[in-house]
Amino acid sequence: MSNRFRATVAGVAVVAGISMLAACSSTASSTGSAAEPEFPTKDITMVVPYSAGGPTDIAARALAKGMEEELGSTIVVENKPGASGITGLSELSAKKADGYSITFTPGDAFVQSELRTAPYTFDSFEPVAGIMTQPYIVVTSKDSGIASYEDLSDADRLTYSVSGIGTPTHINTEILTEDLGVAATAVPYDGAGPAVQAAVGNNVSFAMLDASGVMPFIASGDLVALAVLTTDGERLDYLPEVPSLTELEADVENMTLTIYGVAAPAGLDKGVREALRSAALAATESKTFADFAEANYMPMLDAETEANWYETLKTTAKATVKSLKKFGIELQ
């Protein structure tokens, strides 16, 4: 069923001298007005502030397909990569707030406005819908000799791989090792792929990385899962035997989780926003999107997290700034 939004204003022209019509017009506008135009009446552009072919792009295209079916309009996905998401969101923030320009992106791109110089702030955008999350999993090589999360506390000087300086994988692991009271050295790599391979090859003691990157190696037995970080503090359905960092009483309050959502330029009409929101949430239930999420180990947000996803990003931004200063991490 289409989720088209139509706002109409009742109105009946008053015809002088005809008493019956005059009586009917007493509950209608004396001048009358035409119906507001439908939304959408043309193509919608979905800006993805990351490169084509990556997980965000693939997820965006799956979501866009589902939203098209709900809205009855084409959604054109445009990749605008650069500057950790700043390039794409900068362009979006300058667009008209009419619902025809939206974005699907991980929250990291919004958070960047608090970490670097950017022409937008959180107030530049209207949150439409929170969609899903990318959990983090603490892993170690099968050959590391580390069998549990508790073993990290007893290990000698540790090393861990990260997908880049100042990334969530870096900041989260700094918080984790401080919480454990152990000395550890970050080994930065250019992206998640090399960081995962470093853990698989036992070139580092452990790592805390995206579930989508490490799960194939956990399934093959090359990596051992020690703990998980999730939005709700619960264990993952696909790793029910692995404890969450919340239940291990780790300092998760200041850790960062990747949350994906749909947003538009600030000032969006309420009805248009609800049409987009309804379509986005309905699209997550489509087979195409559900298959993508399952294949990439990305759970949908629970209702409470979804309702507060944008505020959560604001809190994350403040915590990230604090952590960068605390641990002396300089963004590159």
Q: What is the pLDDT of residues 232-278, one digit of tens each?
A: 999 999 999 999 999 999 999 989 889 999 999 999 999 999 999 99
For residue 159, what are the β-bridge partners? 185
Confidence class for position 227, pLDDT limits 50, 70, 90: very high
The DSSP call for residue 184 is E
Query: What is the tens place of the pLDDT at every residue in 116-152?
Result: 999 999 999 999 999 999 999 999 999 999 999 999 9
Q: Give the model's confidence band at 84: pLDDT under 50 very low, under 70 low, under 90 confident, else very high.
A: confident
Give the mean pLDDT of 311-331: 93
Average pLDDT, the chain: 89
pLDDT of residue 37: 57
Look at residues 318, 108, 133 and name the one whose alpha carbon lies nearest to residue 229.
Answer: 133
**Averaged over 19-31, what is the pLDDT?**
41
| pLDDT at residue 29 tops 60 | no
% of the chain at pLDDT higher than 70 = 89
Q: Give the angle 136-142-148 at the CA atoms, nearest 5°.
A: 60
Cβ pair 60, 132 in contact under 8 A:
no
Q: Please state, as a whole number, how many other Cβ atoms lie within 10 Å of the Cβ of residue 285.
A: 10
Average pLDDT estimate for 62-90: 95
Report the predicted TM-score, pTM, of the whole model to 2 decimal places: 0.83
| DSSP assigned state of 83 | G
Task: Name the β-bridge partners of 46.
Answer: 77, 102
